[in-house]
Structure 1
Amino acid sequence: MIHSYSKKAYPWDNACIESFHALLKREWINRFKIFNYTHAYKLIFEYIETFYNTVRIHSHCGYLSPTQYEEEYLKNLEANAIERAS
């Protein structure tokens, strides 16, 4: 494995995280005045744990929130297990 970096101001090498950072700023960070690193850390943690990973819909989850997607997935597993047992 070779560790490499792209040149400065060239975000296309890591488009996924660049997109996430833009989303984080647009949906959350720009609403607050950040006082220090600890405050920023807490705000980002709160966004990821209480909204992004639980409530916010994601296209890769069929436009469901991750929590809804997981519930649907578990329901399908249970239904398949019941069908196989019958």
Structure 2
Amino acid sequence: MCRRANAWDNAAMESFFKTLKVERIYQVRYETRAQARLDIVDWIEGYYNRERLHTSIGFLTPVAYEAAMIAA
């Protein structure tokens, strides 16, 4: 829900896309769009959600955080 004149409205997604670009896209040269799409999905599902620690959720992975919330 993007509102006019609100710089922080989409801050979480802006942060995610910055991380995606810096940690993955700028590090790899893709030959095709299909190759890029597959690699980006693999990075998100395999690394970002399952291995990368996130400071905003207490240095847990999103998968571990979700499991902890379900168990609580």
Residues 4, 22 of structure 1: alpha-carbon distance in 2 compared, 3 angstrom cutoff: closer
Give the TM-score of the pair, scaled to structure 1.
0.62
Instruction: Indicate the percent of aligned positions where both proteins have the same amino acid.
Output: 33
Conserved? CA contact 1:11–1:18, under 8 Å: no
- Aligned partner of 1:28 in structure 2 is 24
Whether 1:41 and 2:37 are equivalent positions in the alignment is yes
Structure number with greater Rg is 1
Match of 2:15 in 1: 19
Alpha carbons 2:2, 2:9 under 8 Å: kept: no
Alignment RMSD, CA only? 3.0
Bigger share in helix: 1
Alpha-carbon deviations, 1:46-66, whole Å to 9, x = none? 111110100001123211123
1:68–1:5: structure 2 CA closer, same or farther, 3 Å change rule? closer
The amino acid across from 2:49 in the alignment is N
Unaligned runs of 5+ in 1: 81-86
Question: Structure 2: which amino acid aligns with 1:18?
Answer: E
Hey, what does 1:84 align to over in structure 2? none
